[in-house]
Structure 1
Amino acid sequence: MTGANKQRVDVAIVGGGMAGASLALMLAHFCPHLSVALLEQRALPDADASVRLPSFDTRATAIAAGSLQLFSELGLWNQLRDYCAPIERIQVSDRGRPCGMSMRAAQQPRASFAGMLGAVVENAALGPVLHRALAQTQTQVLAPARVNRVRMVADGAQLDWSAGAGCPDTQLQAGLLVVADGADSPLCRGLGIVTERIEYRQRALVTTLGVQRDHRGTAYERFTDAGPMALLPLPRRDGSHRMALVWTCSEEDAAILRELPEHEFIARLQKRFGWRAGRIERAGRVSDYPLSLSLAREQWRRNLVLLGNCAHFLHPVAGQGFNLTLRDCYGLARALAGADLAQNSTVGLELLEAYGRDRRLDQQLTIGFSDRIPPLFASPGLFARGLRQAGLLALALTPPLRAGFVGQAAGFGL
């Protein structure tokens, strides 16, 4: 390989999804002295193209108030707000039981952003907004760029990548390699990183619903004996009031439900969820994905960090996965900003160990919550039933306890 085909950067990020793009933006903001390359396997849309969103069949992400604060600090909130529905109230209930909990942004000023507990944004809009902002930075975006080989060397990482089949390899050297290419990462496997996985033997059905009445910024989390159900507010479009559905159920039920005609699916959903959100009038195409908890045994090594779903893939309850990833990105960017890193330097183990210590408690609390809450609410036993009802009652009646719970979920708890 000739010298003309070699390049060195301070940070190379493999994976241009929401995790990788968010980290690149934070590095551009907090660490402008560092050279950064972002490699994404797929071609990216033109940054000048307008964002066109269908009324139905889009997936959405719940962004906590703390994450909105981060996006605001990056100057992205004005671009995102047009595609967001605010979460002003969260209603949590246990199917068939009297106790529940309602949280309002007005009652939790320390855990809110601009009067919101969070917001829901459609993924089809979030990705283009992130990449548009990235195009205004000095980040080198390589797409399509397939990473064919990675070698960890004394002065960082060496990547061989190509722009497509039949294209020659180009070599990229980096002082720090960040892997953010999603769950089941082949890059992690190639680096010998072991991932521990717990299969929940459940699937999440996701779709967009048309509802009869305005959701008024309310997000619903309903626990049932088969698993949690979430209805999240979406922006109104084409005259329709819309909500995003995440319905956890058994693998057997999921196979049946996703094949039902629209009117039968709506009837089953309405019976299961109830009428809190009003009449459900329409459902888009239903898709589903398996639920599991996967954790990388190593999230960092010398000159190497894992971020996003390849580091930790969570149950969707309470929508904590992407928000935890954003806090990881923020922690890493601030660690690199605070270090005395010269151009073309490597990132030592001591800095990454400090980053890991700083992130440990937040990860443990968030991952533990996402792992333990669904089986607790699904258990039919009298002890578990009493425990969860006592917990909901305590949260409903004890403002300091509720404030701490909301603060952690909103990303302000630590």
Structure 2
Amino acid sequence: MTEAAQQFDVAIVGGGMAGASLALMLAHFCPHLSVALLEQRGLPDASASLRLPSFDTRATAIAAGSLQLFQQLGLWSALREYCAPIQCIQVSDRGHSFGASLSAREQEQASFEGMLGAVIENAALGPILHRAVADTQVRVLAPARVSRVRMGVAGAHLSWSADEQGQQNELTTGLLVVADGVGSPLCRQLGIEIDTIKYQQRALVTTVGLQRDHGGVAFERFTASGPMALLPLPQREGLHRAALVWACPDREAQALSKLPEDECLRRLQKNFGWRAGRFMRAGAVQGYPLSLSLAREQWRRNLVLVGNCAHFLHPVAGQGFNLTLRDCYALAQALVGEKPEQGSGVQLERLRTYGRKRSFDQQLTVGFSDRIPALFTSANPTQQVMRQMGLLGLTLVPPLRAEFVSQAAGFGL
């Protein structure tokens, strides 16, 4: 069989964290399926040693349920040394007395190895996922730029090349999975409409040095300008570190990103407060506009969307990647035992069942991520009372606290 005529049961377009995670799950749970992973950019050498920045870095919060899934996939031993555990989550509303503290010790049923979750730098997570994929039977095509997709009753036909001027190769697949991110070119080509709500905010992302050890505490701090998350990072070069994400109005974000480090630190400290001690250092401030993007269709016959092209959330609760992992797991489980005959696509009922099962979790998570920032930045007295009652309820009502932690940890479904 020539390269131009290759056939696969599943082809995933997009080799980022979503696509790589799904490829691993398919290799683990559905080894009978032939899988191709196409990534537009070339992937790093899997044998190269990891070189992580000591300070300026991006990180991802991984819930306990997601860590348990990574353990099933055999990745936890590789991820562990690059993770900082989250053993406690403190939620507070700046300027008000009530707050909530959620600890792994109190919520053993929603924890993993004594953690509510962990924070890992993307510079480690991405390469570890790609190394694991390289050790499977998944066929990785990178760089591979998909120029055309034609859908049919038997699946999809893809035309791709290694670059814009390169020779066109052909690939057929029984199931096409689109995982090429926000603003997906394939979604546009396939006529899938995306509903977008622009928040008129930017997420400012930076790394801060702390005067004292964070002790495995993650902070969710709601300020008048927008929610701030302070997430523990592993200590490196003798420095206590944390990842800071602040969703604030566009104008304030643009002004802050231009400030010198000492003034930036002062502004960050003033808005966050002193619950984590003194901020000693700030890395480069990066920003990106915030929006909620939802695909109107996440599946069709022989087609599924996963990752940010399916749903791109406000980062307030750090649930975007965890929701994606739950989607990927559910899709892999839906395909267990599926072996399309040559020239036929995936059984439509399997995809219908997948979509039905994922609907509630997605609606709950998307709704929470969309409404909470507005509630906690509102100056409306009624909404201020409502949010304080909510925090008080998390503090005083154990069943409510347990349900909240279970959902946040990814064990709620």
Q: How does 1:118-157 map to 2 (within 5 A)?
A: 118-157=117-156
Count the aligned residue pairs: 413
* 2:58 matched residue in structure 1: 59
Q: How does 1:153-302 map to 2 (within 5 A)?
A: 153-302=152-301
Q: Aligned partners of 2:324, 2:238: CA distance in 1, in Å?
A: 34
Q: Aligned partners of 1:91, 1:220: CA distance in 2, in Å?
A: 5
Q: Aligned partners of 1:70, 1:331: CA distance in 2, in Å?
A: 12
Report the more deviating stretch, 90-99 or 330-339: 330-339
The 3 A distance-change label for structure 1 pair 125 and 344 is farther
Q: 1:166 Cα shift? A: 2.4
Alpha-carbon contact 2:9-2:33 (below 8 Å) kept:
yes
Q: Deviations over 1:239-294 (max 9, x none)?
A: 10000000111000001000000000000111111111111011111000011000
Alpha-carbon contact 2:178-2:305 (below 8 Å) kept:
yes
The 3 A distance-change label for structure 1 pair 283 and 166 is same
Q: Deviations over 1:41-61 (max 9, x none)?
A: 001000000111011111000
Letter in 2 for 1:393: L
Letter in 1 for 2:141: L
Within the alignment, does 1:21 sit opposite 2:4 as a pair?
A: no
Report the more deviating stretch, 147-156 or 29-38: 147-156
Q: Deviations over 1:94-115 (max 9, x none)?
A: 0100000001101001110000
Q: Aligned partners of 1:338, 1:247: CA distance in 2, in Å?
A: 44
* 1:68 matched residue in structure 2: 67
Moved over 2 A (4+): 338-345
The 3 A distance-change label for structure 1 pair 398 and 7 is same
Q: 1:226 Cα shift? A: 1.5
Q: Aligned partners of 2:2, 2:122: CA distance in 1, in Å?
A: 40
Report the more deviating stretch, 320-329 or 160-169: 160-169
TM-score (norm 2): 0.98
Q: 1:221 Cα shift? A: 0.2
Q: Aligned partners of 2:339, 2:162: CA distance in 1, in Å?
A: 34
The 3 A distance-change label for structure 1 pair 144 and 151 is same
Letter in 2 for 1:389: Q
Q: Deviations over 1:365-400 (max 9, x none)?
A: 100000000000010111000000000001100011
Q: 1:165 Cα shift? A: 3.1
Q: 1:339 Cα shift? A: 3.8
Alpha-carbon contact 1:34-1:343 (below 8 Å) kept:
no
- Please state whether the residue corresponding to 1:8 is helix, strand or coil: strand
* 1:357 matched residue in structure 2: 356
Q: 1:225 Cα shift? A: 1.8
TM-score (norm 1): 0.98
Q: Aligned partners of 1:344, 1:215: CA distance in 2, in Å?
A: 56
Q: Deviations over 1:1-32 (max 9, x none)?
A: x9662111000000000000000000000000
* 2:95 matched residue in structure 1: 96
- Please state whether the residue corresponding to 1:184 is helix, strand or coil: coil
User: Gapped runs of 5+ residues in structure 1?
Assistant: none
- Please state whether the residue corresponding to 2:235 is helix, strand or coil: coil
